[in-house]
C-alpha cells in the first residue's frame, strides 16, 4: 500500500515555545500514523523542534535555505546548518519565495542541487497564478518551473525529490483546486517528468498537492491516482486540523 507524504509548512508563524508545544502534540497524535509526516517550523524553532521529534517518525523540514554552503551571505541559512540540527527535508521554490522575494528558477535550481548534494530531501514547489491559468499558460508555466528546477538532477537521486503542485490562487484563499483539476495537473507533471527522465521515474515520483488542504477535502484529494500527498499551510498550525489530514484514512 502506498504511503502518502503529508507535510506541514508553518510559514512565518509561532515562537519557539509555541512550536515546541505543537510539535509535542503532533508527536503524541501522530505517533502511529501510517503516512510519512513532515513539519517545517520557522528557522528559529528548528533546533528546539528537532529535540521533540528526535527518535519519532515525524520528519523535520525547513521552509527554505540559501544557495551556498557558507561564506559572506548575510541573512542566509546553509544546508550544513540545517543538517547539523537534524533537518532532513527542505521546501524550495515556494510560490511565496518566487512571488514575494523574486526567487528565479535558476536560483531555485541551484538550491535543489545543493540540497541533494548535502543529502537533504527537497520538495520543489511549482504552480501557476490565476492570471496564468486564465491566460491558458498553466502548462507552460508549470512545465518551465519543473524543467528549470530539475536541471542537472540525476535520475539516480530523483527518488529523494518531491514535487509539490501548489496553484498560487488556492494558497491561503480557501479555494481548493477540485480533485479532478489537481489530478489533471499532476498527470501533466508526470508527462513532463517522463520526458525528462522515464515513464517509470515519472510514475514513482511523489507529487503533493497544496492549497487550502483541510480535513474536509484531504481524503477526496488523496483518492486521486496522481496525488501522493499534501503540503499544508494554514491547517498545519493546529493539531486539531493537521492531525485529521495526516490521518485522512482513518
Residues designated catalytic: 94, 166
Rounded alpha-carbon distances, angstroms, from residue 106 to 7, 139, 142: 25, 19, 14
Residue 246: burial class (beta carbons within 10 Å; 0-12, 13-18, 19+):
buried
Smallest distance, ligand 13P to C-beta of residue 186, A: 16
Query: Residue 232, interface with ligand 13P (CB under 6 A)?
Result: yes
Q: Which residue is nearest to ligand 13P (CB)?
A: 233
- Considering only residues 5 through 34, tell me which ones interact with ligand 13P, judged by CB under 6 A: 9
240 CB-contact burial (10 Å; exposed 0-12 / middle 13-18 / buried 19+): exposed
Residue 235 CA, chain-centre distance (Å), reads 14
Contact residue for ligand 13P among 104, 119, 154, 172 (CB under 6 A): 172
Give the span between the Cα atoms of 236 and 30, in whole angstroms: 13
Residues in a beta bridge with 125: 164
Closest to ligand 13P by CB, 154 or 212: 212
Residue 233 within binding range of ligand 13P, rule CB under 6 A: yes
- Contact letters for ligand 13P, residues 186-215 (x by CB under 6 A): ------------------------xxxx--
231 binds ligand 13P (CB under 6 A): yes
The DSSP annotation for 194-205 comes to HHHS-HHHHHHS
Give the range of 97-105, 164-172, 178-186, 188-196 binding ligand 13P by CB under 6 A. Answer: 164-172
Binding of ligand 13P by 171 (CB under 6 A): yes
Which residue from 53, 234, 242, 245 is in contact with ligand 13P, where contact means CB under 6 A?
A: 234
The beta strand positions in 63-193, using DSSP E, are 89-92, 121-126, 162-165
What is the rounded distance in angstroms from the CA atom of residue 138 to the CA atom of residue 133? Answer: 5
List contacts with ligand 13P (CB under 6 A): 9, 94, 166, 171-172, 210-213, 231-235
Amino acid at each position: 500500500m502506498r504511503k502518502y507524504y503529508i507535510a506541514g509548512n508553518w510559514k512565518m508563524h509561532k515562537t519557539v515555545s509555541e512550536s515546541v508545544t505543537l510539535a509535542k502534540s503532533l508527536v503524541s497524535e501522530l505517533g502511529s500514523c501510517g503516512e510519512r509526516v513532515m513539519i517545517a517550523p520557522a528557522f528559529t524553532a528548528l533546533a528546539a523542534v528537532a529535540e521533540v521529534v528526535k527518535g519519532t517518525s515525524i520528519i523535520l523540514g525547513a521552509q527554505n535555505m540559501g544557495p551556498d554552503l557558507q561564506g559572506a551571505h548575510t541573512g542566509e541559512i546553509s544546508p550544513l546548518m540545517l543538517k547539523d540540527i537534524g533537518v532532513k527535508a527542505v521546501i524550495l521554490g515556494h510560490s511565496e519565495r518566487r512571488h514575494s522575494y523574486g526567487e528565479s528558477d535558476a536560483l531555485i535550481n541551484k538550491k535543489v542541487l545543493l540540497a541533494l548534494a548535502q543529502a537533504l530531501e527537497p520538495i520543489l514547489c511549482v504552480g501557476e497564478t490565476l492570471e496564468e491559468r486564465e491566460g491558458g499558460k498553466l502548462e507552460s508555466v508549470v512545465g518551465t518551473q519543473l524543467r528549470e528546477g530539475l536541471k542537472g538532477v540525476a535520475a539516480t537521486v530523483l527518488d529523494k525529490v518531491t514535487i509539490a503542485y501548489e496553484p498560487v490562487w488556492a494558497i491561503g484563499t480557501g479555494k481548493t483546486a477540485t480533485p479532478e483539476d489537481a489530478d489533471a495537473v499532476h498527470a501533466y507533471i508526470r508527462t513532463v517528468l517522463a520526458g525528462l527522465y522515464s515513464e517509470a521515474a515519472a510514475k514513482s515520483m511523489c507529487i503533493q498537492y497544496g492549497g487550502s488542504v483541510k480535513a474536509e477535502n484531504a481524503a477526496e484529494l488523496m483518492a486521486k491516482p496522481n496525488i501522493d500527498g499534501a503540503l499544508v499551510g494554514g491547517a498545519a498550525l493546529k493539531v486539531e486540523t493537521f492531525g485529521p489530514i495526516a490521518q485522512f484514512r482513518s
